[in-house]
Amino acid sequence: MGLTGAGAFPRPWAIRACVAVSLLVSAAWPAAAPAADVTLSSKTYLLYSRNDVTGGAKEKFLPLYEYLAADARDLGGMPLSFHFYGWGRQDLADDSGRGPRSGDIGSAFLLYRHPTGNAEARLGRFFLAEGTAAETLDGAFVKMRTPVGLGVSLFGGIPVEQSISGTQTGDSVYGGRLFFAAPGFAEIGATYLREKGSFAGDDREVVGGDIWLRPGLPIELIGRAAYNLSTKALASERYVLRITYIPRIDIMAGYEAYRYRDLFQTALNPAFLGPAIDNDDKVRTMFVVVDLEVMKGLTLEGAVKSIRHDRIDPGDASRGEIGVRYAYNDRKDTAGLSAAVVTADRDDNEYTEYRAFATFSPAAWRFALDALTHRYKTDLLATGSRDEYQVVASAGWQALSNLKVSGDLTYTRSPRLKEDYAALVKASLDLGAATGGKK
Amino acid sequence: MTRRAAFGLIAGTALLALLGACAAVSPTASVPPKHPEELGPGRTDCAECHSDLSTGALKPYASFKHSSVFVREHGLYAAQGQNLCASCHGPSFCQECHGRKDELKPNVRMGDRPDRMLPHRGDYIVQHRIDGRLDPGSCFRCHGNKNDARCRACHK
């Protein structure tokens, strides 16, 4: 039922340092409080889960989670804000063997947004997606664009990672992106990233390119490629041709390729390292996705994906899926049906999937039902079961304008689980100034 | 100083000089940090109200229609800037799925939102054997060089 284990905090001093720095700098604006736009979002979850693992012990979980997000904008009347996101767990009854408590600070950073040119600066812990870099780091980030469309971003700090094996994490990460944007026509960028550490005996050093191009037609070309300087080879590439701007139709076709040795050289997770995988394998995928609004609120969705390997093992495969979704009740509610099938060279890669869901939101209430089933072609876990079923029923009540309470009941049966029952009680509290458009 | 470091220093200096010569920051107004009006429920289509270019993303608003196509490829757009995203989505929105060491799967936390395309529904531990074999690159983006303590139980 979605529970994962938890390790210790990575670099506790770094967490304390980034929070302390951010809070101290925030506090340095004594005039901030009257002008600041402060919001606080608290989500509390109490989960009870009882499962019976096939061939294993029965387990019970009763964790209490608190997810907290806080945002303070317009500090000191300036375009300066502070953002925090983190969670903590306390087990009320612990049969999991994973420790009684855990938690994480996902982000805690100061953000300065310049009034022009979309220039910005961040300081603290933040999630960064910039060109071919996608990192969480304790550090700094600056980005600016000039009047002629040329722009630059720079970032640096300590990578927020945690080794789950004997592999060392990086000591520092830094890099930047140089880009050129012609509004409405193109954006082209080049990224450099270096993380010092021990990744297969070398640093993690990558240069990448990204492109968005709209050549005057109702199409877009989007792409991204990364070259691994440590292995001296192209690590990954992904290109998408999207037909959009036509009412009710959105179609894309794409190609992606990567070689294990070059993409996974930076892995810290042993699942991506030899001998778990064949480093000489290369994957090429081609995919098409179609989104067609046949009438107001009614959308047909379809997708096909072909996966081709250089190696016979694990072999090739194709996935096809089709679905329909209908939005109603002034788009507050949605119902959907979908089916997917995977065909493959190897029987143990094949399965079919069906899903149905619906929501209903009368007045202050919200009800949801979600049913999913998989049928695997082979007995994947040698448990005598090839079928999986999961049903989730949810009921929620908007008790106050800023307080919502809800409860979810989940039943799961799968090749791994003889059966799993779970109940989740959730309380969501939102405090603070109105945040127009916040989703 | 190695040749590579010297090259980096020179290139960096040249870059800064070039940017300085371009007269610093563009005078184009930045995208507002918050959308001025409350948005309706359901999948957003910016083109319902906007027909021009976003000053934040420098792309047509129509590119950001939240169809299933966009949701699948949102990462390519976000990699070139998140200003426009941040007008409507809270700063922690990305981390609802792109968490570093979350214990609760997104679809568990959002059981009342079956309409959202959230990853890893069902008993995904079973299906991940297939996805991981066939297309490990799709797993790597989130689980490759980030912490994911659950992997430790089997992948040692």
B47-98 pLDDT per residue, tens: 888 888 888 788 998 899 899 999 999 999 999 999 889 888 888 888 888 8
Which of A3, A146, A251 to mutate: most B Cβ within 10 Å? Answer: A146
Residues of B in contact with A437 (CB under 8 A): 34-39, 87-88
Tokens of A106: 């996902």
DSSP letter at B151 equals G
Would an 8 Å CB–CB cutoff place B31 in contact with chain A?
Answer: yes
Q: Which residue has the tokens 């070139």?
A: B80
Tell if the CB–CB gap between A2 and B67 is shorter than 8 Å: no
Which of A4, A90, A328 to mutate: most B Cβ within 10 Å? Answer: A4
Residues of A in contact with B115 (CB under 8 A): 325, 334, 336, 357, 359
Residues of B in contact with A212 (CB under 8 A): 59, 76-77, 80
Cα B149 to Cα A10, A57, A98, B146, B153, distances in angstroms: 12, 21, 10, 9, 8
Give the separation between CA A126 and CA A135, rounded to whole angstroms: 8
Tell if the CB–CB gap between B25 and A145 is shorter than 8 Å: yes
- Residue A24: its pLDDT value, please? 55
Residues of A in contact with B94 (CB under 8 A): 127, 129
Average pLDDT for chain B: 83
Q: How many CB pairs under 8 A join A and B?
A: 388
Largest CA distance in chain B: 58
Would an 8 Å CB–CB cutoff place A436 in contact with chain B?
Answer: yes
B102's enclosing H/E stretch is none
- Residue A276: its pLDDT value, please? 77
Between B124 and B102, residue with greater pLDDT: B124
- Residue A48: its pLDDT value, please? 94
Residue A190 lies in a domain: yes
Residue A80 lies in a domain: no
Of B65, B109, B132, the CB nearest to A244: B65
- Residue A10: its pLDDT value, please? 44
Residue A383 lies in a domain: no
B21's enclosing H/E stretch is helix B3-21
Selected residues 17-36 of chain A with any CB under 8 Å from a CB in chain B = none
Residue A415 lies in a domain: no
- CA nearest to A85 within chain B: B92
Question: Which residues are registered as beta bridge partners of A155?
Answer: A141, A175
Tokens of A100: 């009684």
- Residue A1: its pLDDT value, please? 44
Burial of A220-253, coded b for 16+ CB within 10 Å and e otherwise, reads: bebbbbbbbbbbeeebbbbbbbbbbbeeeebbbe
Of B75, B112, B147, the CB nearest to A161: B147
Distance to chain A for B50, nearest Cα, Å: 12
Residue A308 lies in a domain: no
Complex prediction ipTM:
0.87
Between A249 and B18, residue with greater pLDDT: A249
Give the separation between CA A359 and CA A369, rounded to whole angstroms: 6
- Residue A26: its pLDDT value, please? 54
Tell if the CB–CB gap between B89 and A439 is shorter than 8 Å: yes
- CA nearest to B11 within chain A: A178
Q: Which of A107, A112, A104, A142 is nearest to A126 (CA)?
A: A107
Cα A199 to Cα A171, A173, A266, A332, B42, distances in angstroms: 11, 13, 5, 47, 43
Burial of B3 per CB tally in 10 Å (0-12, 13-18, 19+): exposed
Would an 8 Å CB–CB cutoff place B116 in contact with chain A?
Answer: no
- Residue A169: its pLDDT value, please? 62
Distance to chain B for A300, nearest Cα, Å: 10
Contact A430, A40 (CB under 8 A): yes
Give the separation between CA B45 and CA B48, rounded to whole angstroms: 6
Q: Which of B12, B82, B81 is nearest to A187 (CA)?
A: B81
Which of B134, B139, B150, B152 to mutate: most A Cβ within 10 Å? Answer: B134
CB count within 10 Å of CB A358 equals 18
Residue A358 lies in a domain: no
DSSP letter at A270 equals G
Residue A28, C-beta contacts closer than 8 angstroms, at least 6 positions apart:
none
Residue A70 lies in a domain: no
Q: Please give the tally of structural domains in chain A.
A: 1
Tell if the CB–CB gap between A289 and B68 is shorter than 8 Å: yes
Residue A157 lies in a domain: yes
Would an 8 Å CB–CB cutoff place A99 in contact with chain B?
Answer: no
DSSP letter at A97 equals S
Q: Mean pLDDT for each 10-residue chunk of chain A (439 residues)?
A: 39 52 53 68 94 81 94 90 94 74 91 91 94 91 92 92 56 93 94 87 91 91 96 96 88 96 86 83 96 94 96 92 96 96 96 98 96 96 93 97 96 93 96 60
- Residue A161: its pLDDT value, please? 73
Residues of A in contact with B133 (CB under 8 A): 314, 349
Residues of A in contact with B151 (CB under 8 A): 164, 269-271
The residue segments making up the domain with residue A269 are 150-247+254-275
Would an 8 Å CB–CB cutoff place A262 in contact with chain B?
Answer: no
Give the separation between CA A254 and CA A235, rounded to whole angstroms: 17
- CA nearest to B19 within chain A: A146
Tokens of A217: 């037609």
Distance to chain B for A203, nearest Cα, Å: 13
